[in-house]
């Protein structure tokens, strides 16, 4: 029984009207149920909130539908936040999902899996903390239209930043737009979304995130807001808050935001590069005397991730659209190599100014990933690499996009979601160790993703009409 007196006092002190209880499904989507503050007491908080788990895709059957949300509220209340987008004062509380019959955590709850991964790391004795620092990119469009049915399929996105708008014959065409591949770091007015990102940053700070920077990205309408690294679980929690703020802030400006990996043809896609390091007793385990001043443990960690890259892709790149980004030439690293400073490798070793900042950056994930599952899977792959001393081989400092001969000799990430799912079916034992992932979860996850693959493979594509209509 947790002590929620501080929380109840907080609700009165800040004149809160509603409490929004939230949890995450297998897709990584946030769900919520809202209670008026008059209903909030210790009995409710300790006993939990019942909900219909069968209405959440790929969770439980209708005859086992009752599930329980247990609020995760820390004693110092550092993991709750006032919702900046609610018209009436509302506090957001993240919850864990439990089975009400045995009061055990639900094994398909992504947040539980993240907690299990952290617990298993500590049980191994290798480290006590895994830090994750994701770099999340996204697009902000003026509008989006899309529809798919048996006889009609299209999408259309619009942004004033698209260069084809330079040719619009209007009296007020300002012509201030980034050139092709010229979106990285220009000032206003070329960076037309500066004020929106600043508002997003302020909202993220208000919700408890430590935000380091924001800037325009390479493609038109593409952006990034940098948040500080946290422990695995709290970093995944932060991603949920990050996405919530970006989407709602964009909408408040009359825009729409998307975390799709590749919404624009022949331009840069959105990645989620993930910086990772292991620590023990307050000391980094990744600093050493090996290549790029890495430790042997860090090299083995890299080796585990590169070995399991294709099965990891099922979690780190979980959409068919993800693999339209994972092609050479658009800063998307598809080659399973590691290198210092080299952005063409799947694993980059960033230059740092102190041993405590030593880390590895895994560059193939994208922001459509469920952060709890993706981070937990990468940690488990890294642990497997350490335990089995999987060395990643030689480093590669060449531009692997240009040096085709060397690139041919190296393994690559999965080329499609189908390939990633097949890899996960064949290579998943490292995820099951320590009861972090369960076979039940993997079965449901694979079923969910195979359904997407099958539907998209069977649906006629508009480009097929261009190629084949008159054949």
- Residue 121: inside a domain: no
In a domain, 115, yes or no: no
pLDDT per residue over 217-270, tens digit each? 999 999 999 999 999 999 999 999 999 999 999 999 999 999 999 999 989 999
Co-location of 102 and 190 in the same domain: no
Count of C-beta atoms within a 10 Å radius of residue 95: 23
Beta-bridged to residue 32, according to DSSP, are 22
Rg value, the chain, Cα: 23
How many angstroms separate the Cα of 51 from the Cα of each of 60, 62, 69, 244, 254?
A: 12, 12, 8, 22, 33
pLDDT higher for 399 or 458? 458
Q: Are residues 21 and 146 in the same domain?
A: no
- Pairing state between β 18-24 and 90-99: parallel
- Residue 318 shares a structural domain with residue 443: yes
pLDDT at 35 over 90: yes
The stretch 328-354 carries a mean pLDDT of: 84
- 342: how many CB neighbours lie within 10 A of its CB? 20
Catalytic residue annotation: 52, 135, 137, 217, 224, 273, 343, 361, 363
Give whole-number Cα distances, 340 to 305, 334, 344, 349, in Å. Answer: 16, 16, 10, 4
CATH number, domain of 320, equals 3.30.590.10
pLDDT at 331: 64
Identify whether residues 304 and 410 lie together within a single domain: yes
Structure tokens at 197: 């990102």
Give the C-alpha distances (Å, rounded to integers) separating 104 from 33, 67, 75.
Answer: 21, 11, 22
Domain range enclosing 385 = 129-468
Residue-wise pLDDT tens digits, 194-212:
999 999 999 999 999 999 9
Instruction: Report the CATH number at residue 102.
Output: 3.10.20.70
Tell me if 319 is assigned to some domain. yes
Chain centre to alpha carbon of residue 225: 13
Write down which residue in 57, 74, 106 finishes a domain: 106
pLDDT at 278: 98
pLDDT band for position 284 (cuts 50, 70, 90): very high
In this predicted structure, the answer to whether residue 406 has a pLDDT above a threshold of 90 is no
Across 72-193, the runs of DSSP E, i.e. the strands, are: 80-82, 90-99, 104-105, 129-141, 143-149, 152-158
82 in any annotated domain: yes
Q: Give the pLDDT of residue 465.
A: 93
What confidence tier does 353 reach under pLDDT thresholds 50, 70, 90?
confident
Shared domain check, 395 and 246:
yes
Whether 294 and 333 map to the same domain: the answer is yes
Whether 118 is covered by a domain: the verdict is no
| Six token digits for residue 104 | 């055990």
- Whether residue 213 is found in the same domain as residue 361: yes
CA 355/CA 358 separation, integer angstroms: 5
Q: Would you give the distance in Å from CA 90 to the centre of its chain?
A: 25
CA–CA distance, 262 with 257 (Å, rounded to integer): 13
Phi and psi at 462, nearest 5°, equal -55, -35
207 and 80, same structural domain? Answer: no
- Say if residue 159 is in the same domain as residue 100: no
pLDDT of residue 2: 72
Residue that has been written with the tokens 């990430």 in this structure? 413
User: Is residue 119 one of the residues assigned to a domain?
Assistant: no
- Do both 164 and 308 map to the same domain? yes
* Half-sphere exposure in the Cβ direction for 306 (13 Å, CA): 29
Number of domains in the chain: 2
Structure tokens at 173: 């065409």
Residue 1 pLDDT level (bands cut at 50, 70, 90) = low
The answer to whether position 405 is within a domain reads yes
3-state secondary structure of 151: coil
Task: Give pTM, 2 decimals.
Answer: 0.96
Q: Could you tell me if 290 and 401 lie in one domain?
A: yes
Whether residue 65 is found in the same domain as residue 197: no
Length of the chain: 471
- 300 domain residue, yes or no: yes
What letter would DSSP give residue 2?
Answer: -
Task: Give tens-digit pLDDT for 112-163.
Answer: 999 999 999 999 999 999 999 999 999 999 999 999 999 999 999 999 999 9
């Amino acid at each position: 029984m947790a002590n929620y007196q501080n929380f109840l006092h907080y609700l009165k002190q800040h004149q809160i009207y509603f409490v929004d209880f939230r949890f995450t499904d297998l897709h990584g989507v946030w769900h919520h149920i809202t209670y008026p503050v008059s209903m909030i007491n210790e009995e409710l908080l300790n006993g939990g909130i019942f909900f219909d788990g069968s209405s959440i895709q790929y969770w439980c059957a209708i005859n086992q539908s009752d599930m329980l949300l247990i609020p995760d509220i820390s004693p110092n209340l550092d993991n709750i936040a006032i919702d900046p987008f609610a018209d009436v004062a509302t506090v957001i509380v993240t919850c864990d999902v439990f089975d009400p019959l045995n009061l055990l955590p639900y094994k398909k709850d992504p947040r539980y899996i993240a907690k299990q991964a952290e617990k298993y790391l500590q049980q191994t004795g290798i480290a006590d903390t895994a830090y994750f620092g994701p770099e999340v990119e996204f697009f902000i469009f003026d509008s989006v239209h899309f529809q798919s049915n048996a006889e009609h399929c299209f999408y259309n996105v619009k942004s004033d930043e698209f260069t084809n708008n330079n040719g619009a014959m209007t009296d007020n065409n300002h012509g201030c737009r980034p050139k092709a591949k010229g979106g990285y770091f220009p000032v206003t007015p070329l960076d037309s979304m500066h004020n929106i990102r600043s508002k997003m940053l302020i909202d993220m700070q208000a919700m408890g995130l430590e935000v380091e920077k924001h800037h325009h990205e390479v493609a038109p309408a593409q952006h990034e807001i940098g948040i500080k690294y946290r422990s695995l679980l709290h970093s995944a929690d932060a991603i949920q808050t990050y996405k919530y703020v970006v989407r709602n802030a964009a909408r408040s400006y009359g825009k729409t935001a998307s975390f799709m990996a590749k919404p624009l043809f022949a331009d840069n896609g959105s990645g989620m590069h993930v910086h990772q390091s292991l620590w023990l007793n307050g000391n980094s385990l990744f600093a050493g005397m090996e290549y790029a001043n890495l430790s042997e443990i860090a090299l083995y960690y890299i080796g585990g991730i590169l070995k399991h890259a294709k099965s990891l892709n099922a979690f780190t790149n979980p959409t068919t659209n993800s693999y339209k980004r994972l092609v050479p030439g658009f800063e998307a690293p598809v080659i399973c190599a590691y290198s210092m400073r080299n952005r063409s490798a799947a694993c980059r070793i960033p230059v740092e100014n102190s041993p405590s900042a030593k880390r590895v950056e895994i560059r193939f994930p994208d922001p459509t990933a469920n952060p709890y599952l993706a981070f937990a899977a990468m940690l488990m792959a890294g642990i497997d690499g350490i335990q089995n001393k999987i060395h990643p081989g030689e480093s590669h400092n060449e531009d692997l996009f240009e040096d085709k001969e060397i690139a041919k000799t190296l393994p690559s990430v999965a080329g499609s979601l189908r390939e990633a799912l097949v890899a996960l079916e064949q290579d998943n034992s490292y995820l099951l160790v320590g009861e972090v992932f369960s076979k039940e979860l993997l079965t449901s996850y694979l079923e969910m993703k195979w359904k997407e693959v099958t539907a998209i493979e069977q649906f006629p594509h508009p480009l097929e009409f261009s190629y084949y209509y008159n054949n």
